[in-house]
């Protein structure tokens, strides 16, 4: 059974430990040997294992340990644990607190804020803000104060934070046992054939691109993932949809929607920043580019969150407004669709 002290909302992180650029005079040298020259206390085996897992990158592409580093190559190493210098520093960052009592709080995270340090983001995170505003938050199994579940950096929306050990355990069990409620609102490319349905497909890290996740239909790899979706509004070449999570996996909605051919609008990591539906007219391309500028992130918002209060036993449900950037994009598509059909 998985650890119940933390829900796998965003999965197994990769932490950027080192980023180097080879000098102009760099002679061809195996990347594992190159890195041993730079990384203190690193073993060759550790570096080779990172390369085997697809976590050594040169010029943006994962390489094997026998890759020969050349002049001006950019080399990056990711490991699945925090670097030694990983420290949590309190930062006076404002929080949008929707609800708070003695044992928990619900916050509305803005798009662009990382939930916890990692991937080179070691400051400005929600955790940095939480430990500034609240003392003695309980830590989960990954030493993250107060964190019960997570959402992506560029996803906005609601998160519940535990303020006591008892609340942490109680809330984590609800997410683990699928008794919590989570509804997301998304804009996706295309019109869904079925107005509502369920996507089931194990999700795991992509074997070739370790910064992406993918669906393994045979179920032999990855972790079980279930997403229930429903079309709210057909906007022509895109659709506004609701997604309810039965499980919480890394990039779950983003991966599942791409899997059925409806990538999230402007989701750069999964190809949604390209025009996937529509015409070839230059005016249409300009319109989509304007939408991208209005909404410079994946179109995903954690709108509703429900759970049983750890102390009172009362079921609590919180709802949040669709943020301005996403709402403006929706209005643009409504206007465009109306004029196309009129």
Helix (H, G, I), strand (E, B) or coil at 11: coil
Query: What is the pLDDT, as a whole number, of residue 84?
Result: 44
Residues 184 and 322 in one domain: yes
Does some domain include residue 232?
yes
The domain boundary, picked from 79, 99, 126, lies at 79
Domain assignment of residue 222, given as a range: 178-342
**How many angstroms separate the Cα of 221 from the Cα of each of 56, 115, 207?**
22, 27, 11
The domain boundary, picked from 30, 63, 79, lies at 79
Does some domain include residue 136?
no
Query: What is the pLDDT, as a whole number, of residue 67?
Result: 95
Torsion of CA 205, 211, 212, 213, to 10 degrees: 30
Q: Is the pLDDT of residue 331 over 90?
A: yes
Does some domain include residue 255?
yes
Q: Is the pLDDT of residue 120 over 60?
A: no
User: Does residue 26 contact residue 73 with C-beta atoms inside 8 Å?
Assistant: yes
- The separation between CA 270 and the C-alpha centre of its own chain, rounded to angstroms, equals 12
Does some domain include residue 172?
no
- Residues in CB range of 36: below 8 A, 6 or more apart: 42, 44, 47
Active site residue 218: no
Please count the residues of the chain.
342
For 133-158, how does the pLDDT look when each residue is reduced to its tens digit (9 = 90+)?
999 999 887 778 999 999 999 999 99
Does some domain include residue 294?
yes
Q: Give the span between the Cα atoms of 11 and 308, in whole angstroms.
A: 24
Query: What is the pLDDT, as a whole number, of residue 60?
Result: 86
Q: Which position among 8, 32, 73, 152 bears the catalytic label?
A: 152
Q: Is the pLDDT of residue 76 over 90?
A: no
Rounded to an integer, the average pLDDT of 251-256 is: 96
Residue 288, domain CATH: 3.30.2350.10
Residue 32, domain CATH: 3.10.290.10
Does some domain include residue 32?
yes
Domain count for the chain, please give it.
Answer: 2
Does some domain include residue 279?
yes
Does some domain include residue 74?
yes
Rounded to an integer, the average pLDDT of 224-243 is: 97
For 17-45, how does the pLDDT look when each residue is reduced to its tens digit (9 = 90+)?
677 888 888 889 999 888 887 775 567 88
Range of weakest confidence among 18-27, 251-260, 266-275, 313-322: 18-27
Residues 67 and 201 in one domain: no
The domain boundary, picked from 79, 107, 123, lies at 79
């Amino acid at each position: 059974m998985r650890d119940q002290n933390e829900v796998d909302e965003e999965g197994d992180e990769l932490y950027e430990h080192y980023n180097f650029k080879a000098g102009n005079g760099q002679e061809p040298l195996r990347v594992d040997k190159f890195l041993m020259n730079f990384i203190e206390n690193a073993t060759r085996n550790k570096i080779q294992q990172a390369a085997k897992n697809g976590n050594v990158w040169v010029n943006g592409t994962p390489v094997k340990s026998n890759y020969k580093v050349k002049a001006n190559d950019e080399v990056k190493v990711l490991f699945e644990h925090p670097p030694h210098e990983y420290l949590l520093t309190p930062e006076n960052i404002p929080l949008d607190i929707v609800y708070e009592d003695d044992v928990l709080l619900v916050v509305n995270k803005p798009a662009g804020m990382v939930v916890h340090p990692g991937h080179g983001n070691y400051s400005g995170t929600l955790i940095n803000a939480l430990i500034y505003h609240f003392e003695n938050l309980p830590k989960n199994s990954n030493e993250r104060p107060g964190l019960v579940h997570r959402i992506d950096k560029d996803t906005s929306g609601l998160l519940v934070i535990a303020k006591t050990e008892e609340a942490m355990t109680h809330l984590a069990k609800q997410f683990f046992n699928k008794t919590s409620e989570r509804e997301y609102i998304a804009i996706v490319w295309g019109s869904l054939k079925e107005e509502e349905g369920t996507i089931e497909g194990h999700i795991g890290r992509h074997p070739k691109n370790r910064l992406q996740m993918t669906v393994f239909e045979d179920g032999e790899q990855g972790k079980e993932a279930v997403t229930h979706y429903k079309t709210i509004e057909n906007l022509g070449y895109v659709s506004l949809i609701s997604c309810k999570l039965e499980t919480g996996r890394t990039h779950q909605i983003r991966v599942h929607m791409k899997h059925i051919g409806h990538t999230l609008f402007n989701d750069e990591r999964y190809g949604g920043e390209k025009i996937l539906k529509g015409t070839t007219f230059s005016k249409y391309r300009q319109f989509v580019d304007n939408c991208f500028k209005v909404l410079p992130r994946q179109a995903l918002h954690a709108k509703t969150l429900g759970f049983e209060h750890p102390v009172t036993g009362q079921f609590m449900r919180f709802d949040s407004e669709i943020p301005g950037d996403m709402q403006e994009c929706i209005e643009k598509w409504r206007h465009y669709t109306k004029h196309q059909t009129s």
